[in-house]
Amino acid sequence: MSDFLDYSAIKRKIESEVCAGHNVSPEFIKTAKGFQINSCCEEFKDKLVEKAKKNIAEQTKITVEKMLKKAFKR
The residues binding Zn ion (CB under 5 A) are: 19, 21-22, 40-41, 44
Concatenating the DSSP letter of every residue in 29-51 gives EEETTEEEEE-S-HHHHHHHHHH
- Least Å from the CB of residue 39 to Zn ion: 6
- Least Å from the CB of residue 68 to Zn ion: 40
- Least Å from the CB of residue 29 to Zn ion: 17
Integer angstrom CA distances of residue 43 from 11, 47, 48, 58: 19, 7, 9, 23
Give Rg (Cα) of the chain: 15
Nearer to Zn ion, 41 or 57 (CB): 41
Nearer to Zn ion, 29 or 68 (CB): 29
